[in-house]
Amino acid sequence: MAREYGTENWIEWCPGCGNFGIVSSLYRAFSELEMEPEKTVLVSGIGCSGKMPHYVDVSGVHTLHGRAIPFASGVKMANPDLDVIVNGGDGDLLGIGAGHFVALGRRNLDVLVMMHDNRVYGLTKGQASPTLPRETQTKALDSPNIQDALEPLPLALISGYTHLSRSFAMDSDHLKEMIKKGIEHDGAAFLDVLQPCVTYNDIHTSEYFKERIEKLNDWDPEKDKNEVYEKLDRETDKILTGEIYKDTDKPSFSERLSEGYKEKSPSQRPIEEDGAPILDKEKFVSKFEEFVVEPEL
Amino acid sequence: MNDEIDMILGGAQGAGLETTVQILSSAFASSGLGILADREYYSNIKGRHSYVHAKVSSTEIPRSLESSIDILGCMDAETVFTHFEDVREEGYIIYDSSVDDKTQDEIKSLEDPLRERLEDRFDELGVEGTVSSILDHLEEEKDVEAVELDFPSILKELQEKYEMSSSQASRYVSSILIGAVSGLMDLEKNSIEKGIEKKFEGKEKIAEQNMFLVGDVTDMVKEEHGSPLKMEKLGLDEDQLLMVNGNEITGMGKMTAGLGFQSYYPITPAADESLFIEKHAGEENVLVVQTEDELAAVTSCIGAALTGTRSATATSGPGFDLMTEGLGWAGINEVPMVITYYQRGGPSTGLPTRGSQDDLMTALQSSHGSSPRIVLASGDHHEAFRDAVKAFNLAEKYQTPVIHLLDKFLANMVRTVPLPEIESLTIERGELWEGGEDYRRFEDGPISERAFLGEEVMWYTGSEHTESGNVIEDPEKRLKMKEKRMNKLDLADKEMDEDERAIYFGPEDPEHLLLGWGSVKEVAIDSIESLEEKIGYLHLRTFSPFPEEKVLSYLKKADKVVAVEHSYSARVSEVVSLKTGFEIENEVVKYTGRPIYRDELVRSMKDVLSGRVSREVLKHGP
């Protein structure tokens, strides 16, 4: 029987929030993949999306604004046996944390990043996020946005992510599949989750997305980067969803490390024997031989 | 025979000084001499003046430096201009006689204020201002002997013998200096050879060429000057010593402690530690990760620590500033992690390659809100090793971040030291979860049983939280959880021996007390031994939890208390005042970023102890 992944905590998102769709899709994906709760780590930043780990019965690390990715990276690098999934908002991942977003792609570390893309900062009352288009005025803004929107998928593509997908919070079947593909991919995966903010974004509503979403059909994601870029670039009125890009050739971060790391990761290595350091005096002298001087007296 | 030699070897950054010093240090050490060598350099890759100030001893491993020297080894004219006044009576200057006519105006890399000071000084001394005029002056006034070597013709000989280009030959200037020092001190050929072989391992031809040049110059110098600075051998009991700088010995300590993960972002003077660990990762497979910034360095380190891996990051002031938000998260989530903090001159970029102890308050108090943190400070190579191990034990025992304070002086100071006593070290992992039902990460207190990510389901959050790690704002729970965490520091205070947190050196019942920490330790100990007054030195090694009782008992007994520190305002006095209410009225401070020299500290202490002044600012060192 499928396992339940909910917790007893009261879910405190606004009624109708896209996050309900995201968390229920996550439960379903985990259930279908039979994720081991203690071997699965959900890492989040700050904001509405940051609360996610408290509603999912796997290990959760609710971190600092913008830093979910480096926290997650440390966990994954030290213990590659864990499945690590980041949930962050658009402001968290592409505003305050943009440097880390790029760095994860460069490492191709085996982490799935799910971006809750609602184009506003919800928890601080509706300011413009990095994905809000210029000249758009959502209801909490005093005047139209004067900064251009960032394109998350092309940014992820050129940063080196090897799995890219997009889905919609209110299409649970589709989102669940995209989450599963992201988790199963060995390398850095980015999933852009379009989501309404019912309280602060009166423009990019559920209806807005529904009218524009076009699911990719007959699209083999294992394509040349340029072809993917062009496909995304041609998006105008339509918003493409689905598995857009996949590269299984590029070595993941752990494959780039030494043989020794693959055999025994930092978290699995013994460091003491009966309370004494593994690096005893004899090993110390041979390890640091070049610093040892034997004076001729 | 001499039992101590002080020397400065200088040249343009990137011109081979590093090679000179490595080979000479190795030769000194293998001839059984004790060595201490401070490295001074600009934030520059090539061209700026850099130098090494060293003391070599045949009676002990030296602890501190003198402002005056027996040998000034000059790779260029700038070194003559910068250091000529430091040479003692009957000292030696090794220099390139082809720059005899050079004046300071021709040296573009000299900074203007020094240029102006030199002009004034030359007027005072009645010196014309060429290199040879300075040497003549030193010979007349101080009986300083010039070891004249015509670098171009010496290199020409090498060039012809080995058929190399003149630009290739110019890279061998370092060996001229080695040869000259070797001649004056009559170093054994064998010990130099060993140093050269070690330096040029796998490059036999280059080693041979350097050896030839060293031998050639050694013979020239011996013929002309004899070996007036020959030294006795050091009567050390050790058959094995380490020759290391502070970055290296700290890295060794961390690796001995079982470090599994080290993150870093490049910064002087901390980065060398991470590079050292990476190079020696060996079969222990320590994972060293260069992150995109210090925000990622600290947070990835925390992430790794959550998996049970002993994790650390190493940085300096500007990087630490960026880490403070992460430090708060680690505090509220009770994460055992270590930040190795090498202080340098601030604020901002300040003096990025010079030493400082001005970040004590930063280490103790940065980050908003309050959470327990342990702050250790090391005063020398031996302490740096012990503290690097201890930092992890304390971090895991009290499940809280530990800041290990060091500084640029120690980071770059090369010294021969006895092998660390590894047999006496223990690895203490603190309270660990042994399995069972319904794991809650923050259950009971003050110390909870720690499970690693991967073992049980658990939650962490930077918000105030319940025992399970879920967000809560309830006032009663807030009290409970806040107190649980803060009580850990009280527990550490009870359990950590005050005698290890503050160490006293000096006579019983001292009349006066010198108080300091970090790398003032050794020069402070040497200075109290040179003062006539009955004065002791109290060395602070742990700032949090602060050893109040012990410190206060020494402060109260002393007639005069003098704080000594590399900072503007003696931060240690501020901390003592905060923690004990005791106001320290005297201070000797230095904030030029250069080391404190024994003789200048002794001089200033005399002034302070006599009551003439209550504050002295030290300035020596170019």
| Distance (Å) of CA A17 to CA A46, B97, B265, B309 | 16, 82, 39, 38
Instruction: Write down the pLDDT at residue A237.
Output: 77
Indicate yes or no: CB of B457 within 8 angstroms of CB of A9. no
Question: CA B116 from chain center: how many Å?
Answer: 31
Cβ contact B300–A39 (<8 Å) = no
Residues 290-319 of B with CB under 8 A from A: 291-293, 295-297, 299-311
Hey, is the C-beta of A63 within 8 angstroms of any chain B C-beta? Answer: yes
pLDDT at A234: 76
Q: Do B381 and B250 touch, CB atoms closer than 8 A?
A: no
Please give the residue of chain B at the shortest CA–CA distance from A5. Answer: B457
Judge whether B80 and B134 are in contact, CB under 8 Å.
yes
CB contact under 8 A, B457 and A267: no
Mutate to test the interface with B, among A39, A288, A289, A292 (most CBs of B within 10 A): A288
The A83-89 sheet, strands edge to edge: A213-215, A239-246, A163-168, A189-194, A111-117, A83-89, A40-44, A59-62, B459-461
- Do residues A203 and A194 touch, judged by C-beta distance below 8 A? no
B245 vs A: CB within 8 A: no
d(CA B163, CA A197): 76
Fold that domain A18-256 belongs to in CATH = Rossmann fold (3.40.50)
With cut-offs at 50, 70 and 90, classify the pLDDT of residue A22: very high
pLDDT at A2 over 60: no
Question: Which one-letter DSSP state was computed for residue B187?
Answer: -
Say whether residue A56 is in contact with chain B using an 8 A CB cutoff.
no
Q: Under an 8 A CB cutoff, do B307 and A266 touch?
A: yes
Q: For chain B, positions 196-225, list CB contacts with chain A under 8 A.
A: 198
Interface of A with B in 250-279 (CB under 8 A): 257-258, 260-261, 264-267, 269, 271-272, 275-279
Tokens of A139: 């209801």
Q: Name the residue facing B462 among A41, A43, A63 (closest C-beta).
A: A63
Which domains, ranges and CATH numbers included, belong to chain B?
A: 4-225 (3.40.920.10), 243-424 (3.40.50.970), 431-496 (no CATH), 500-618 (3.40.50.920)
Contact check, Cβ <8 Å, B454/A277: no
Contacts of B202 in chain A (CB under 8 A): none
CB A187 within 8 A of CB A205: no
At residue B407, the pLDDT reads 98
**Burial of B540 per CB tally in 10 Å (0-12, 13-18, 19+):** buried
How large is the ipTM? 0.98
Could you state, in order of their start, the residue ranges of all structural domains in chain A?
A: 18-256
pTM, to two decimals:
0.97
Residue B422, chain A, CB below 8 Å: the answer is yes
The reply to whether B447 touches chain A by the CB within 8 Å rule is no
Q: How far is CA B324 from the centre of its chain?
A: 23
For testing contact with chain B, the best of A279, A286, A293 (most B CBs within 10 A): A293
**Is the per-residue pLDDT at A1 higher than 50?**
no
Give me the residue label for tokens 């959880």: B481
Listed in sequence order, the residues at least 6 apart from B589 whose beta carbon sits closer than 8 Å to its beta carbon are B564, B565, B566, B567, B568, B569, B570, B615, B616, B617, B618
Residues present in chain B in total: 622
Mean pLDDT by runs of 10 across the 622 residues of chain B is 93 92 92 94 95 94 96 98 98 98 96 97 96 98 98 95 92 96 94 92 94 96 96 75 97 98 98 97 90 98 98 98 98 98 97 98 96 98 98 98 98 95 96 96 96 98 98 98 98 96 97 98 97 97 98 97 98 98 98 98 98 98 95
- Looking at CA atoms only, how far is residue A287 from chain B in angstroms? 7
pLDDT reported for residue B236: 65
- Find the closest chain B residue to A103 by CA distance: B292
A6 touches chain B (CB under 8 A): no
Q: B452: which DSSP letter?
A: -
Minimum mean pLDDT range among A78-87, A114-123, B232-241, B588-597: B232-241
Task: Please indicate if any CB of chain B lies within 8 Å of the CB of A214.
Answer: no
Residues A99, B293: C-beta atoms closer than 8 Å: yes
- Going from the C-alpha of B110 to that of each of B47, B93, B117, the distances in angstroms are 10, 20, 11
